């Protein structure tokens, strides 16, 4: 770590943060990054010298425990501290990531309407434009080059880089698996299949196209180009997302090929972050048809694997209301298999999504409780259920949604959290 002040500005290069994604109730940074600290703000940069975090000090900043984060897709996310116990109980994390785009409308506070947050983004752009003036004040050639690189990474450049990122994977990722919260949504995406198997009527996030797997050649090319795109910042990544919406329905050989090729070509073993993680979605049909041999192979991979299944409801009336073309019987079969896999494999965890909303059939929640009580008679640590708040097919702005989740949590033995939608 190398640092040096000039007047009221301090630059620190190659600063090292935590090696593990831990759930703590105070601000923490992971990986290796560089930092510029001024009296009003702390700016932190990835190893490509792109702005990644902004945290205010005073000047109306909402809380010293809150910050802004910029994603690879060039979106800003605000991390709300809120009430630690309440946020933790509702979302599984001590912080609540609030994106600058509308997806989680049940969250009542919008930090992007806060004058201090908007001002922080404006001040950053003004500061970046003024950085060239600072360069002669530093003797270190390394710091001079660092500042020059930051100045080059202007908003147009960052937007162009994000477009290039989406062009590499031939997709804008509309939703990440909820389990990616375990790595703060810091995943490298490799798309192995496009489209969706069911094209459910209620869904506003997934593709309307039919399911179509990609070729090994396409997957290999994505990984090769992603390696170049992330460049020196690869060392800060240890997690892979296999997209898009139902990777589990792809041929098992294709899934394993993508996971193994990415692990070796992206050198995830050499990440500064400990361990390696694999995330993807699956459908009800996909998990029912998956073979034991496939899960044996996943267990043997150098990853901790999380597969998120869209069950939505154990009630046929609700499934019909949602226009999801499956039966409650197959949902029960998928849920039972999920429990069995979680019990059998130490490195594989299946989680599930259910919907929740005031306008759903009144038989929806009783069917959920019937399903869980019939199969689970004690608390278990694997198999989180994520609830997606809906009303009339859309995400809702409902002040009681968290309170109602607590009631659901008290009536079953699984871990229950609200699904925070985040894209990439």
Give 269-305 pLDDT, tens digit per residue: 999 999 999 999 999 999 999 999 999 999 999 999 9
What pLDDT score does 377 carry? 81
Cβ burial, residue 158 (10 Å; 0-12/13-18/19+): middle
- In this structure, the answer to whether residues 190 and 211 fall within a common structural domain is yes
Q: How confident is the model at residue 255 (pLDDT cuts 50, 70, 90)?
A: very high
- In this structure, the answer to whether residues 384 and 241 fall within a common structural domain is yes
Domain with 348, as residue range(s), is 170-418
- In this structure, the answer to whether residues 180 and 126 fall within a common structural domain is no
Q: Terminal CA-to-CA distance of the chain, rounded, Å?
A: 30
Is the dihedral angle over the CA atoms 113, 66, 71, 277 positive or is it negative? negative
Domain count for the chain: 2
pTM for this structure?
A: 0.95
- In this structure, the answer to whether residues 182 and 75 fall within a common structural domain is no
What pLDDT score does 393 carry? 44
Residue 80 within a domain: yes
- In this structure, the answer to whether residues 144 and 274 fall within a common structural domain is no
Residue 111 within a domain: yes
Of 87, 88, 110, nearest in space to 98 by CA = 110
Domain endpoint, select from 133, 158, 183: 158
- In this structure, the answer to whether residues 233 and 317 fall within a common structural domain is yes
Domain endpoint, select from 158, 184, 199: 158
**How many Å apart are CA 330 and CA 324, to the nearest integer?**
12
> Residue 3 pLDDT > 70, yes or no?
no
Reading phi first (left if > 0) and then psi (alpha if -120 to 50, else beta), residue 307 is in beta
Residue 145 within a domain: yes
The separation between CA 343 and the C-alpha centre of its own chain, rounded to angstroms, equals 25
Residue 281 within a domain: yes
Q: Is the peptide bond before 359 cis (omega within 30 degrees of 0)?
A: no
Q: Which residues contact 169 (CB under 8 A, 6 or more apart)?
A: 189, 190, 191, 222, 226, 243
Q: What is the CA radius of gyration of the chain?
A: 22
Contact 82, 420 (CB under 8 A): no
**How many Å apart are CA 188 and CA 424, to the nearest integer?**
10
Q: Which residues contact 393 (CB under 8 A, 6 or more apart)?
A: 201, 202, 204, 322
Alpha carbon separation from 230 to 47, 103, 264 (Å, rounded): 9, 27, 15
- In this structure, the answer to whether residues 182 and 95 fall within a common structural domain is no
What pLDDT score does 380 carry? 87
Residue 163 within a domain: no
Residue 424 within a domain: no
- In this structure, the answer to whether residues 332 and 383 fall within a common structural domain is yes
Residue 309 within a domain: yes
What pLDDT score does 150 carry? 96
**Both tokens of residue 58?**
């005073």
**How many Å apart are CA 157 and CA 171, to the nearest integer?**
19
| CATH number of the CATH domain containing 187 | 3.80.30.20
- In this structure, the answer to whether residues 232 and 138 fall within a common structural domain is no
What pLDDT score does 397 carry? 47
What pLDDT score does 214 carry? 97
Helix (H) or strand (E) holding 221: helix 216-230
β-bridge pairing 416-418 and 385-389: parallel
What pLDDT score does 206 carry? 59
Residue 230 within a domain: yes
- In this structure, the answer to whether residues 64 and 178 fall within a common structural domain is no
Domain endpoint, select from 158, 180, 207: 158
Contact 162, 48 (CB under 8 A): no
- In this structure, the answer to whether residues 209 and 285 fall within a common structural domain is yes
pLDDT digit string, tens, across residues 208-247 = 678 999 999 999 999 999 999 999 999 999 999 999 999 9
pLDDT digit string, tens, across residues 42-83 = 999 999 999 999 999 987 999 999 999 999 999 999 999 866
> Residue 357 pLDDT > 90, yes or no?
no
- In this structure, the answer to whether residues 177 and 321 fall within a common structural domain is yes
């Amino acid at each position: 770590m190398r640092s040096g002040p000039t007047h009221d500005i301090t630059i620190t290069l190659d600063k090292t943060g935590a090696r593990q994604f831990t759930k703590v109730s105070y601000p923490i940074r992971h990986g290796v990054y560089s930092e510029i600290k001024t009296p009003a703000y702390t700016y932190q940069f990835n190893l490509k010298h792109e702005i990644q975090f902004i945290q205010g000090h005073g000047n109306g900043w909402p809380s010293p425990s809150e910050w802004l984060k910029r994603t690879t897709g060039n979106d800003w996310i605000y991390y709300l501290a809120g009430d630690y116990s309440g946020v933790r109980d509702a979302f599984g994390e001590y912080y609540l990531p609030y994106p600058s785009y509308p997806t989680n409308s049940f969250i009542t506070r919008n930090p992007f309407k806060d004058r201090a947050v908007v001002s922080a983004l404006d001040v950053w752009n003004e500061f970046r434009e003024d950085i060239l003036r600072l360069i002669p004040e530093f003797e270190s050639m390394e710091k001079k080059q660092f500042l020059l690189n930051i100045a080059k990474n202007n908003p147009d450049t960052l937007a162009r880089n994000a477009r290039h990122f989406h062009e590499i994977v031939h997709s804008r990722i509309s939703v990440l698996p909820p389990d990616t919260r375990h790595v703060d949504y810091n995943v490298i995406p490799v798309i192995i299949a496009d489209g969706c198997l069911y094209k459910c009527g209620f869904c506003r996030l997934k593709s309307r196209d039919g399911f179509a797997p990609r070729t090994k050649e396409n997957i290999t090319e994505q990984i090769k180009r992603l390696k170049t795109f992330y460049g020196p910042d690869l060392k800060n990544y240890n997690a892979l997302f296999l997209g898009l919406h139902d990777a589990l329905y792809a041929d098992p050989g294709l899934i394993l090929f993508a996971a193994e090729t990415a692990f070796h070509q992206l050198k995830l073993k050499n990440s500064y972050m400990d361990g390696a993680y694999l995330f993807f979605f699956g459908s009800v049909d996909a998990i029912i048809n998956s073979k034991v041999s496939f899960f044996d192979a996943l267990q043997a991979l150098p990853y901790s694997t999380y597969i998120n299944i869209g069950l939505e409801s154990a009630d046929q009336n609700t499934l019909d209301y949602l226009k999801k073309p499956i039966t409650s019987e197959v949902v029960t079969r998928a849920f039972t298999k999920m429990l069995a896999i979680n019990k059998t494999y130490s490195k594989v965890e299946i989680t599930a999504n259910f919907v929740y909303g005031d306008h759903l059939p009144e038989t929806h929640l009783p069917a959920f409780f019937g399903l869980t009580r019939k199969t689970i008679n004690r608390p278990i640590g694997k198999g989180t259920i994520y609830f997606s708040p809906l009303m009339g097919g859309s995400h809702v702005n409902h002040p009681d949604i968290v309170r109602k989740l607590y009631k659901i949590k008290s009536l079953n033995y699984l871990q229950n959290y609200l699904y925070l939608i985040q894209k990439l």
